[in-house]
């Protein structure tokens, strides 16, 4: 076996300009699109670590192409397969959360792309920040669960956080060069998902296939279901709160089915700035890596020669109760957003296993939030315990599943 990697020969000067990446969750939707950005900029970006949950075949193929120093395979049963393929190429093979944290804090890495899905991504983001890395954050659940822990690390001058989520990237781009105090409010745009116009009375019969068919974006299964329930936007409100230090009453949600306007900032003089583009995560991923520069890229452009209608409407909060559940959890603070997140992760997993109905997702999250009291100023250990408790609370409601 031999490596087919395409790392270009660089002079020492060029080498000094290269940004070295650990891509956590490289086999997922964001991870794979990050590798597309690396392919566009081989002289600027270099991959030092790649990680996968269980897709050993894709991880091996990625490692053969990009020659990282190490890879992490989450599923220990696949370790041998990965070792047999990659050890002869000089690639170190790690497993588990320890492996992820090691890949996140690698000496030879400058930037960590955090593209795991869910609570499983939290500890590696904390490890990256503690090691002083720049973190390009796709894993919004990290900020939902542990926003205070993450921002306190940043205040201690540990590491740097750049948004990858398209709405937050849009806001970040609108804020460039503006005095912080001049911001009046933020408006996150939402596509409204596949059920924006579907009558609420039929929500009980929504199938998994229908919920997985997002009109504008091709993404991992969990965030696609979150988009269908609009919990994705709820999680993004919490994410925006921590990223931009903005109270919830100054963060609005606006339904915009075309996904062209990626979000807006309202300034105190009444001016509104928005960032526009085609729905393509390649751009926000790239901006998190190129910031404060912009790198010329051959992406498809918006075509202004055709008639374009941009439609906006308020979200239907009765039809999509997850949105208000997220605002409530943010207002309650402490561990409440961690309960929201864990109950959602568990309920979405059950929906994807076709064990509960679509409408059960918000009901189960509401019950978990009502049952588990919020605890102020949680430590990481408190958050881990709270995550487990909320998952158990959801499972208890499903009679056929032993807890
Ligand atoms: P995905 O399911 O496609 O990929 C997730 C990645 O994490 C995979 O590589 C998977 O192997 C890995 N992973 C999952 N669980 C793991 C575990 N327990 N241990 C180790 N590895 C594990 O998800 P995605 O759509 O790429 O989303 C990733 C994150 O980015 C999510 O937080 C999502 O909300 C956010 N995000 C995604 C998009 C998008 O367009 N896909 C847009 C905005 C934000
Ligand atoms: Mg988003």
Structure-model confidence comparison of residues 33 and 2, the more confident one: 33
261-267 and 183-190 strand pairing: antiparallel
Whether the per-residue pLDDT at 69 is higher than 90: the answer is: yes
**Phi, psi (rounded to 5 degrees) for 292:** -85, 5
Cβ of residue 149 lying under 6 Å from some atom of ligand 1: no
pLDDT confidence of 6, banded at 50, 70, 90? low
Tell me the pLDDT band of 3, cut-offs 50, 70 and 90. very low
Residue 1 has pLDDT above 60, yes or no: no
| Residue 2 pLDDT | 41
Greatest Cα-to-Cα distance within the chain, rounded to the nearest angstrom:
64
Residues whose CB is less than 8 angstroms from the CB of residue 401 and which lie 6 or more positions away in sequence, other chains included: 350, 355, 395
Q: What's the pLDDT tens digit per position in 345-374?
A: 999 999 999 999 999 999 999 999 999 999
Kindly state if the Cβ of 53 falls inside 6 Å of ligand 1: yes
Angle at which helix 380-396 crosses helix 358-371, to 10 degrees, equals 130
User: Which protein residue's CA is at the shortest distance from atom 13 of ligand 1?
Assistant: 53
pLDDT-derived band at 83 (thresholds 50, 70, 90) equals very high
Cβ of 102 less than 6 Å from ligand 1:
no
Residue 234 Cβ inside 6 Å of ligand 1? The answer reads: no
Residue 401: the pLDDT is 59
Helix axes 29-40, 56-66, angle to 10 degrees: 10
Tokens of 153: 């690390």
- Res 66: pLDDT: 98
Counting atoms of ligand 1 from 1, which one is nearest the CA of 221? 2
Q: Examine the pLDDT at 203 and tell me if it is beyond 70.
A: yes
Residue nearest to atom 4 of ligand 1 (CA): 28
Q: What is the pLDDT of residue 393?
A: 96
Question: Ligand 2: distance of its center to the CA of 140 in Å?
Answer: 9
Mean local confidence (pLDDT), 24-47: 98
pLDDT at 403 over 70: no
Q: Using 50, 70 and 90 to split pLDDT, how confident is the model at 402?
A: low
Cβ contact 126:151 at 8 Å: no
With the most atoms of ligand 1 within 8 angstroms of its CB, the residue from 29, 77, 190, 280 to mutate is: 29
Whether pLDDT at 236 is above 90: yes
Give the distance (Å) from ligand 2 centre to CA of residue 110.
Answer: 25
Residue 140 beta carbon below 6 angstroms from any ligand 1 atom? yes
For residue 247, the CA-to-ligand 2 centroid distance in Å is 19
Which ligand has the shortest distance to the CA of 113?
Answer: 1
86-100, 153-167, 321-335, 389-403: least confidently modelled range: 389-403
Q: Which atom of ligand 1 is nearest to the CA of 120?
A: 18
Closest approach atom of ligand 1 to CA 55: 11
Q: Is the CB of 203 inside a 6 Å radius of any atom of ligand 1?
A: no
- For residue 263, the ligand closest to its alpha carbon is 2
Share of the chain above pLDDT 70, in %: 96
Element spanning 135, H or E: strand 134-137
- Measured from the Cα of 26, ligand 1's closest atom is 9
For residue range 125-161, list pLDDT tens digits in order: 999 999 999 999 999 999 999 999 999 999 987 799 9
| Tens-digit pLDDT profile for residues 253-273 | 999 999 999 999 999 999 999
Q: How far is the CA of 82 from the centre of ligand 2 (A)?
A: 32
CB neighbour list of residue 144: distance below 8 Å, 6 or more residues apart? 235, 238, 239, 337, 338, 340, 341
> Distance, CA 180 to ligand 1 centroid (Å)?
31
CB atoms near residue 102 (< 10 Å)? 19
User: Using an 8 Å Cβ cutoff, are 145 and 383 in contact?
Assistant: yes
Q: Is the CB of 29 under 6 A from ligand 1?
A: yes
Mean pLDDT taken over the chain: 95
Closest residue by Cα to atom 8, ligand 1, is 28
Cβ of residue 360 lying under 6 Å from some atom of ligand 1: no
Instruction: Find all residues with CB under 8 Å of 189, minimum gap 6, and list them.
Output: 167, 170, 253, 254, 255, 256, 259, 261, 262, 263, 264, 312
| Alpha-carbon span 398 to 384, nearest angstrom | 22
Q: Is the CB of 338 under 6 A from ligand 1?
A: no
As a whole number, mean pLDDT of residues 239-266 equals 97
């Amino acid at each position: 076996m031999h490596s087919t990697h395409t790392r270009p020969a660089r002079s020492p000067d060029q080498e000094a300009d290269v940004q070295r990446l650990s891509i956590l969750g490289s086999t997922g939707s964001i991870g794979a699109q990050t590798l597309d950005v690396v392919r566009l900029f081989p002289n600027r970006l270099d991959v030092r670590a790649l990680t996968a949950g269980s897709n050993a075949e894709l991880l091996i193929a990625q490692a053969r192409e990009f020659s990282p120093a190490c890879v992490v395979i989450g599923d220990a049963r696949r370790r041998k397969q990965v070792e047999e393929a990659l050890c002869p190429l000089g690639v170190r093979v790690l497993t588990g959360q320890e492996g992820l944290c090691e890949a996140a804090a690698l000496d030879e890495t400058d930037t960590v792309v955090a593209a795991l899905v869910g609570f499983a991504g939290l500890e590696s983001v904390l490890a990256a920040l503690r090691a002083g890395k720049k973190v390009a954050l796709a894993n919004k659940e990290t900020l939902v669960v542990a926003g205070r822990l993450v921002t306190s690390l940043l205040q201690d001058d540990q590491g740097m956080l750049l948004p990858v989520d398209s709405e937050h990237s849009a806001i970040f781009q609108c804020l460039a060069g503006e005095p912080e105090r001049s911001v009046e409010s933020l408006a996150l745009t939402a596509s409204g998902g596949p059920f924006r116009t579907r009558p609420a009375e039929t929500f009980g019969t929504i199938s998994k296939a229908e919920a997985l068919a997002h009109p504008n974006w091709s993404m991992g299964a969990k965030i696609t279901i979150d988009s269908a329930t609009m919990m994705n936007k709820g999680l993004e409100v919490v994410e925006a709160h921590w990223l931009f230090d903005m109270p919830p009453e100054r963060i609005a949600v606006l339904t915009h089915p075309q996904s062209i306007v990626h979000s807006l900032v309202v300034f105190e003089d009444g001016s509104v700035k928005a960032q526009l583009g085609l729905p393509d995560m390649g751009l926000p991923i790239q901006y998190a890596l190129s910031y404060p520069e912009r790198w010329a890229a051959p992406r498809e452009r918006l075509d202004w020669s055709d008639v374009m209608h941009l439609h906006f409407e308020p979200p239907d909060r009765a039809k999509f109760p997850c949105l208000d559940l997220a605002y409530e959890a943010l207002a309650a603070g402490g561990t409440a957003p961690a309960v929201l997140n864990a109950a959602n992760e568990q309920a979405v997993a059950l929906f994807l296993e076709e064990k509960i109905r679509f409408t059960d997702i918000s009901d189960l999250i509401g019950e978990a939030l009502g049952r588990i009291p919020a605890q102020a100023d949680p430590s990481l250990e408190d958050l881990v315990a709270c995550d487990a408790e909320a998952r158990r609370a959801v499972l208890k409601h499903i009679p056929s599943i032993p807890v």
